[in-house]
Structure 1
Amino acid sequence: MEFNLVFEVYFMIHLQQYLSLEQQSQVIQACREVARISPLYTPKMPSGKPFNCQQTSCGSYGWISDRSGYRYSEIHPNTGKQFAPIPEIIYNLSKSLATQIGELDYIPQTCLINYYKSSGRLGLHQDNSEQNLKPAIISISLGDDAVFLVGGTKRSDATKEILLKSGDIIIMNSESRLLFHGVKKIIPGTYNLLKSGGRLNLTIRQVY
């Protein structure tokens, strides 16, 4: 598929409706298979406050948040077992995208899967738990539309709203790798791709 750059700020790339409906369905099915091995759960912030979304991970590592802080672990916090491997369709897609932006040695080591119900949201944050902060972050949106916020390298910087639709992909690389970003709100009923409604967001990263 042709790689079309349709939005760029600080070299952040927004690919609108990059995935076909068939590809979206295949990725969702792959996520369901992951969840059977590594179930969704509601993480807590270091303060003890629960997140406004559920999550799980797949790959060699999973992103964890609890009273001990933010970190990566090889073990699912609820099952005590290793996370499911990254499904081939997700692994190959992320490798292909990384290659097209010039990151030929990109290694997808983890895929964080966030499930947002209609009331879900995610506050402004940086993705900085990885030991290697140079490889791109690749984010895939599936299901209902979401209002995505992206700011600058400081939390106090002004933010811009971007409407993310099912099949959209955001790539944060180069200068955009450490931009503050978050999910302002979900727009329910906009794209009923998931049986239960809501939105899935997949974030693929190289940790080391």
Structure 2
Amino acid sequence: MGVNLTEKWERDVRGVRVIDGFLSTAEQVAIVEDVRAVARMAPFIRPMTPRGRPLSVRMTSAGALGWVTDQKGYRYEVRHPSGEPWPPIPVRVRAVWDAVVPTARPPESCLVNWYGPDAKMGMHVDRDEADPAQPVVSISLGDDALFRIGNPERGGKTESLWLRSGDVLVMEGPARLLHHGVDRIAPGTSTLLDAPGRINLTLRVVT
């Protein structure tokens, strides 16, 4: 994947880098096929919070470690709940990481979230990783999502923006530990997927 960032429209929202239209339509189609291959090896699950509440998104992972949540807590595991190892991070997905954060350590986990038309993600901070100096890179595929960015502490004023298919978002530096979430999906705003909804890929360094 040959990427020239000078040709992309990059903006700053509270320190979060948003690169609009980073992936071409052809690149998005190819990565969706990669995601389907991952899901065949590590099927999507409906995760539960430690309090026993199901999340509205379905999840799987790729890489050396996968993020899981259940009544034992939030954590990374080396195997899918089925007992099988997670599949490797697809080459095309890894290429996005290398292009937008070229000096970062290699990603160890790619969390794959499937948002149906009614799914959302509450405000949270990614704190399960050992080195917050390493960035988090998010790739959006499918329907538009209303993404909200908050503060290091819970509460206070927030700022929202629409993430569209092909957009890439980078949380690094002070923005790495900002609260963030997805308030809603706009069904039918993309024809990339076979059904209304959104795929979000989140690449992280874990150890």
TM-score norm. by structure 2 comes to: 0.95
Are residue 66 (structure 1) and residue 70 (structure 2) matched? yes
Percent identity over the alignment? Answer: 36
SS of the residue 1:177 aligns to: helix
> Post-superposition, which runs of at least 4 consecutive aligned residues in structure 1 deviate over 6 A?
none
Aligned equivalent of 1:20 = 24
2:98 pairs with 74, 95, 117, which one? 95
How many angstroms does 1:107 deviate by?
Answer: 1.0
1:2 pairs with 4, 22, 25, which one? 4
SS of the residue 2:166 aligns to: coil
SS of the residue 2:162 aligns to: strand
**Paired residues of 1:150 and 1:161 also in contact (CA < 8 A):** yes
Gaps of 5+ in 1: none
CA distance in 2, matches of 1:90, 1:15: 15
Aligned equivalent of 1:38 = 42
**Paired residues of 2:14 and 2:149 also in contact (CA < 8 A):** no
Gaps of 5+ in 2: none
Structure 1 letter corresponding to 2:56: N
Query: How many residues matched?
Result: 203
TM-score norm. by structure 1 comes to: 0.95
2:83 pairs with 80, 84, 88, which one? 80
Deviations 1:106-152 (A, max 9, x none): 21110000000000100000011011111110000000001001011
**More off after superposition, 113-122 vs 190-199:** 190-199
CA distance in 2, matches of 1:60, 1:92: 17
CA distance in 1, matches of 2:166, 2:180: 19
CA distance in 1, matches of 2:65, 2:138: 17
CA distance in 2, matches of 1:96, 1:163: 22
CA distance in 2, matches of 1:173, 1:49: 30
**Paired residues of 1:42 and 1:51 also in contact (CA < 8 A):** yes
**Paired residues of 2:104 and 2:135 also in contact (CA < 8 A):** no
